[in-house]
Amino acid sequence: MTNSVNEPASDRPPATSDFGATPETVELTPQTTIGRFKISTDVLRAYTMVFALIAIWIYFHYSTNQIFLDPRNFSNLMRQTAVTGVLAVGMLMVIITGQIDLSVGSVVGLAGGIAAIAQGWLGWGLVPSLAAGIAVGIAIGATQGALTAYVNIPAFIVTLGGLLAWRGVILGLSRGETIPIRLQQFKSLGQDYVGPLVGWIVAAIAVAAIVWFALARSRTRRRHGLAEPGMASSCCE
């Protein structure tokens, strides 16, 4: 093979590094213009619901004579939505996989009813009663998950059946009667408040955990050469 004077002789095939990105091929971050402001589209998508939630809080705060964001009212709201929040985290994992769980309410009712029956009618302690409820939830989740993953029954069908079946199970076990709460500790789990010092400690740990996970995710994405979504890149500069 004959090479020109300015071209070095090489018989190797072209490598990927020979085709480096040129300035013309660099992708620009899409931006959304709102008035005179330009906001990253990814950031706008990620934080739109947060901004909407803040706006709703402000509206209700001033429409209720500034008592909506009062510490006592805020703690009541958080306590009342605790069960819904825990369920939402689990449902998020299901929805991310493209599935659905229609039986989550019935499963919660059955697991809670089992725990209540264990401490009220069977005389069990706090820990065994809670363990019984958790075990029932895990067993039902594993059964329905196995039917969906290994038997290839659609999650809609499996959980729709569970929606009716588990509601009937707890109705049969409780015989439609009110279950007395014998243990004060059992009642305190859903009604009592923690002290101010404990609350500040838990809040500080939660905020620190969120920041640590965000920074760790950002560093991992940088290490593997991946784009950093949202505001993660700006907070880690």
Using one digit for the tens of pLDDT, what is the confidence trace for 138-167?
Answer: 999 999 999 999 999 999 999 999 999 999
pLDDT digits (tens, 9 = 90+) for 184-230: 988 888 888 888 898 899 989 999 999 999 899 888 888 888 766 55
Residue 6 lies in a domain: no
> In the chain, how many domains are there?
3
Q: Which domain, by its residues, includes 146?
A: 82-193
What pLDDT was estimated at residue 128? 95
The two tokens of residue 141 are 């989740």
Give the domain-ending residue among 59, 80, 101.
80
* 88 and 165 together in one domain: yes
Q: Is the pTM of this model over 0.75?
A: no
Residue 18 lies in a domain: no
* 96 and 188 together in one domain: yes
Residue 204 lies in a domain: yes
Residue 23 has pLDDT above 60, yes or no: no
The fraction of the chain above a pLDDT of 70, given in percent, is 82
Q: Which helix (H) or strand (E) holds 148?
A: helix 126-149
Q: What is the rounded CA–CA span in Å between residue 208 and residue 142?
A: 33
CA 117 from chain centre, in angstroms, equals 30
Distances (CA, A) of 99 to 109, 152, 162: 21, 12, 15
pLDDT digits (tens, 9 = 90+) for 94-132: 998 889 999 999 999 999 999 999 999 999 999 999 999
Residue 8 lies in a domain: no
